[in-house]
């Protein structure tokens, strides 16, 4: 595992295990209905696999790929070396984002629930858009991975993990439809469309599910655990979630957002 902190991700592992995120992103890109020549902000570009989907949909366009994690940006730059002239990378916290040249479309996949202040976020994203521009995004929404969270909590209270995790509560913000619609309108967006979409991810035990959990869902638990307990913790959570065939179902619920800046 690479170094993981509040801001940093294990970008190499994320690149390898993020098939579910890439699958969700295909639908988000389709919803953007790109003509092919737009300038698109990829808000929280991660390791670049989803940015590649955008680049493929923009033969005459450009992507401004923004992320707070340097490891993610480095991984994305390496992955997208062959299309470097069509991507600009920029390190920034989206909550403090300022762009020189407003874009046609703000796109984001699997990012907003990592940010607790959605009012501030939507206001920054509105500022990054040109008048008439589109916001198309998906993130974790109300009810997202409820079973995974409950299972993680149970395992966290068992020895030997409890010494490190008993008082640790991971903070995400899985927003509901009404609040999100209201906040988008307060940020000045119109034609706001939001919906919730259950999207289970099913991963096999025996390495795959455990690595996925370590790199994504449990990445901040990993920081608090000594090295020798990290894999065992992810394994314990995965085993508890697995069915008799060794398949782990992660109960993802995605929040879709689409809105226009007048």
Ligand X SMILES: C[S@@+](CC[C@H](N)C(=O)[O-])C[C@H]1O[C@@H](n2cnc3c(N)ncnc32)[C@H](O)[C@@H]1O
Strands (E), 114-172: 129-140
Under 8 Å CB-to-CB from 37, ≥6 apart: which residues?
58, 59, 60, 61
In the set 12, 95, 151, 249, which binds ligand X (CB under 6 A)? 95
Q: Structure tokens of 255?
A: 């929040």
Single out the residue of 260, 38, 32 nearest to residue 133, CA to CA.
260
Q: Quick check: 65 binds ligand X (CB under 6 A)?
A: no
> What torsion, rounded to 10 degrees, do the Cα atoms 14, 17, 23, 29 define?
20
Q: Which stretch binds ligand X (CB under 6 A): 41-49, 166-174, 197-205, 234-242?
A: 41-49
Q: Quick check: 67 binds ligand X (CB under 6 A)?
A: yes
Neighbours of 23 (CB within 10 A): 11
Under 8 Å CB-to-CB from 104, ≥6 apart: which residues?
38, 39, 40, 129, 130, 133, 134
Q: Which stretch binds ligand X (CB under 6 A): 108-116, 124-132, 221-229, 243-251?
A: 108-116
Q: Structure tokens of 70?
A: 């340097």
Burial classification of residue 239, based on how many CB atoms lie within 10 Å of its CB (0-12 exposed, 13-18 middle, 19 or more buried): middle
In the set 17, 32, 41, 50, which binds ligand X (CB under 6 A)? 50
Q: Quick check: 87 binds ligand X (CB under 6 A)?
A: no
In the set 12, 74, 114, 151, which binds ligand X (CB under 6 A)? 114
Q: Which of residues 21-40 bind ligand X (CB under 6 A)?
A: 21, 25
Q: Quick check: 115 binds ligand X (CB under 6 A)?
A: yes
Site string for ligand X, 177-216 (x = CB under 6 A): ---------------------------------------x
Give me the residues that bind ligand X (CB under 6 A), please.
9, 18, 21, 25, 44-46, 49-50, 67-69, 72, 93-95, 109-111, 114-115, 216
């Amino acid at each position: 595992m690479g170094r993981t902190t509040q801001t940093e991700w294990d970008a190499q592992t994320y690149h390898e295990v993020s098939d579910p995120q890439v699958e969700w992103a295909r639908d988000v890109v389709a919803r953007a209905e790109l003509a092919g020549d737009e300038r698109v902000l990829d808000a929280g570009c991660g390791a670049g696999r989803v940015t590649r989907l955008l680049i493929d949909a923009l033969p005459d366009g450009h992507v401004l790929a923004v992320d707070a994690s340097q490891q993610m940006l480095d991984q994305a730059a390496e992955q997208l070396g062959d299309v470097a002239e069509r991507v600009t990378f920029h390190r920034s916290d989206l909550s403090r984002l300022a762009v020189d040249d407003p874009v046609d479309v703000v796109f984001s996949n699997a990012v907003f629930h990592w940010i607790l202040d959605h009012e501030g976020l939507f206001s920054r994203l509105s500022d990054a858009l040109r008048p008439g521009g589109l916001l198309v995004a998906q993130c974790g929404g109300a009810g997202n991975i409820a079973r995974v969270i409950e299972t993680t909590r149970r395992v966290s209270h068992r020895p030997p993990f409890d010494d490190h995790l008993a008082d640790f509560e991971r903070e995400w913000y899985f927003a509901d439809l009404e609040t999100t619609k209201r906040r988008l309108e307060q940020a000045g967006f119109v034609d706001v469309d939001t919906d919730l979409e259950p999207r289970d991810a099913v991963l096999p035990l025996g390495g795959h599910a455990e690595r996925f959990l370590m790199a994504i869902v449990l990445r901040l638990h990993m920081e608090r655990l000594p090295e020798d307990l990290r894999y065992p913790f992810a394994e314990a959570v995965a085993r508890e979630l697995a069915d008799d065939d060794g398949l782990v179902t992660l109960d993802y619920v995605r929040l879709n957002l689409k809105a226009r800046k007048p």
